[in-house]
């Protein structure tokens, strides 16, 4: 049984997916237990009011969260905050210039996955969480602390049925 932390963007991708119902069923039927960070729920609650198809977007995202995650919400601890801070220090040491407030939630989500030995299911956004410097920072800090590097999977691969792994 795989244990996977869902990044916040995954909920929006599923909600906007033309094959949404099939994706929800695929997620429920997969041999994966899905988790989310308390940060993710907070980000979903902050989504501005709007509509997607016939649904109130914010409420729809929160219902989707509840269906996929239930009570498997992982709260930010001192260990997670400390690891996240280490990621940011490493990132700035590697030449990263993005202000911490813009990266903080991504760093906390990745630290949560690392601390709890979870895989991470993410969007293909290479500008923040998956930028090469960020990945290198995660790798360096996890190596130093003796924490295994999480398996990172994209929504597109999950959607194609290649989760947990498939050839490129």
Per-residue pLDDT tens for 53-78?
A: 667 889 999 999 999 999 999 999 99
Q: Is the pLDDT of residue 17 over 50?
A: yes
DSSP string, 2-70: EEEEEPHHHHHHHHH-TTHHHHHHHHHHSSEEEEEEHHHHHHHHTSPS-EETTEEHHHHHHHHHHHHHT
- Tens of pLDDT, residue by residue over 77-103, are 999 999 999 999 999 999 988 899 999
Is residue 15 predicted with pLDDT exceeding 50? yes
Domain 2-159, CATH class in plain words: alpha beta
């Amino acid at each position: 049984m795989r244990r996977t932390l869902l990044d916040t963007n995954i909920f929006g991708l599923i909600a906007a997916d033309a094959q949404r119902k099939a994706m929800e069923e695929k997620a429920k039927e997969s041999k994966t237990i899905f988790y989310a960070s308390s940060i993710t729920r907070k980000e979903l609650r902050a989504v501005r009011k709007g509509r997607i198809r016939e649904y109130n977007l914010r409420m729809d995202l929160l219902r989707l969260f509840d269906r996929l995650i239930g009570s498997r919400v992982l709260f930010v601890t001192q260990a997670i905050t400390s690891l996240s801070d280490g990621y940011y220090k490493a990132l700035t040491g590697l030449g990263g210039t993005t202000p911490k407030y813009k990266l903080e939630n991504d760093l906390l989500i990745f630290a949560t996955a690392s601390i709890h030995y979870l895989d991470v299911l993410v969007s293909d956004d290479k500008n923040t969480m998956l930028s090469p410097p960020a990945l290198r920072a995660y790798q360096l800090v996890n190596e130093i602390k003796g924490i295994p590097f999480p398996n990172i999977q994209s929504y597109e691969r999950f959607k194609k049925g290649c989760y947990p792994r498939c050839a490129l």
